[in-house]
Amino acid sequence: MTKFLLAVHVIAAIVAVGPVAVAASMFPPTARKALAAPDDADALATTRLLYRICQVYAAVGVVVPVFGFATASNMGVLGDTWLIVSIALTALAAVVLAALVLPRQSAILEGAGDHTATVQLAMFTGIFNLLWAAVTVLMIVRPGSTTGA
């Protein structure tokens, strides 16, 4: 059962978090292009699509910690420091996405943003991506693991 839970957890992380990381990273430069040329329908459509991808896959991403907790419980590692740090970083990444990235994307699409807003959004997106990179490293290295990794 542990292998199944772990497989679902890893696949969900790749399928759900990957698209958010990429789409969120592509949003600021695409938004800058759309802001610079308001009559460019393609740039606006692309920006809207990237926002929609971020919204949908963020919702799907809830599966990642659900299966992560189930896997950790089966493995008996819920109290391990590396996992607790991973959980905290995951929660922080979720807050950054929900409170800083998605609302700013929405505001830019609604016309409330400018070049400065896209720069700030790029910074928050970078923080989100760095948090996920740290979680990924912790999940692979697992300090104190007996796997020898």
Q: Which of 12, 141, 138, 145 is nearest to 75 (CA)?
A: 145
Altogether, the residues listed in the chain come to a count of: 149
Q: Which of 100, 65, 71, 66 is nearest to 86 (CA)?
A: 65
- Positive/negative CA dihedral, 142, 5, 91, 107: positive
Q: Is the pLDDT of residue 147 over 90?
A: no
Q: Is the pLDDT of residue 21 over 50?
A: yes
**Out of 8-17, 20-29, 119-128, 140-149, which region has the weakest mean confidence (pLDDT)?**
140-149
pLDDT for the residue numbered 114: 85
The overall average pLDDT reported for the chain is 93
Q: Is the pLDDT of residue 112 over 90?
A: no
User: Span 113-117, mean pLDDT?
Assistant: 87
Q: Is the pLDDT of residue 113 over 90?
A: no
| Extents of the domains making up the chain | 2-141
